[in-house]
Each structure stands twice: as C-alpha cells, then as structure tokens.
Amino acid sequence: MGSQLTSVFSRIASGQTAILLARNTVVSVLTFLFGLVLMWVLVELISVNKVFAAGASFLGATSLHYIFGRNWIFRGTSRAVASGYGYFLINGGIGLVLTLGMFAALISWTPINYLVARVVVSVFAGFVMFLLNAMLNFKQL
C-alpha cells in the first residue's frame, strides 16, 4: 500500500502533471466563465432556483470542457471519443456532487454571494475532476 501511495504522489508531482494542469486551467477558466454566465442568465433573467442553476450550468460547462479538453489537454489519448465522454461525465458527476454540496452549504450557512460561492467551490471540485480524468480516464499520468 505504501509503495502504491508513493507512486500516485510521484505521478501527481511530475512535470507532466504541471503541463496538463496548466492546459486544464486555461480550458477550465474559459468553460467556467461560460458556466457562470449561463448560471447568471438562469438565476437573474429566468428566475431559476440557484442550486438548480448551479447544476445546469455545471453540466453545460463540463460538456464544453470535454470537447476542448480532449483535443488539447489530453491529446494523444487512446481512449475512444464516446467512452472518454462517458467517463468524463462520470467524473463530472463526482464533481457535480462536490460542487452542489459545497455550494448549497456555502449559500445556506454563510452570507456569501452565490456567484462567489460558485467560484470558491469550483477550485476544489475542478482539481478533483482533473486528477480523475488525467489518471483514470485519459491515463496521461
């Protein structure tokens, strides 16, 4: 168990991870901004429930992230497009649960603005999703 844990940590701390994480950050920021605008539209213009809007905008941004991320972040993967998207959605589901849970907690238990709360939770959930995709889906780490 100790050597497996050491192996995982050495893979995460590699130069390859830094490159993939930098690329992922660019794509994540752009798709996150898309999701944030979508969330604002849903809440402010259509009067959708904030937690529902967080989930809907998260799913839209995640799908857009896959389209751009597959071709640049994890380019050269041997994973087929359809199965890669399926695994990406599973990992996105994990991220969605983290995002909605932390988002709901922040807007329920703190006076934080819902858009600020969404930014805060995205950092943690996004990193978890990056690691899941890099290590398990596209097997680049």
* Least confident range of 26-30, 54-58, 97-101: 54-58
Helix ranges restricted to H, 41-80: 50-72
Write down the domain spans for the chain: 2-137
Residue 82, pLDDT above cutoff 70: yes
CB atoms within 10 A of CB 95: 23
Share of the chain above pLDDT 90, in %: 45
Structure tokens at 3: 């050597």
Closest CA to 120 of 93, 102, 101: 102
Q: State yes or no: pLDDT of 102 exceeds 80.
A: yes
Angle between helices 81-109 and 50-72 in degrees, nearest 10: 140
- Comparing 3-17, 57-71, 74-88, the range with the smallest average pLDDT is 3-17
Q: Match 């899941």 to its residue by tokens.
A: 132
Average pLDDT value for residue range 67-77:
89
Residue range 101-120: average pLDDT?
93
pLDDT, mean of residues 6-26: 84
Please say whether the beta carbons of 58 and 96 come within 8 A. Answer: yes
Residue 1's pLDDT is 62
Distances (CA, A) of 74 to 35, 49, 70: 21, 35, 5
Tell me the pLDDT tens digit for each residue of 19-44: 999 999 999 889 989 999 999 999 99
| Cβ contact 106:112 at 8 Å | yes
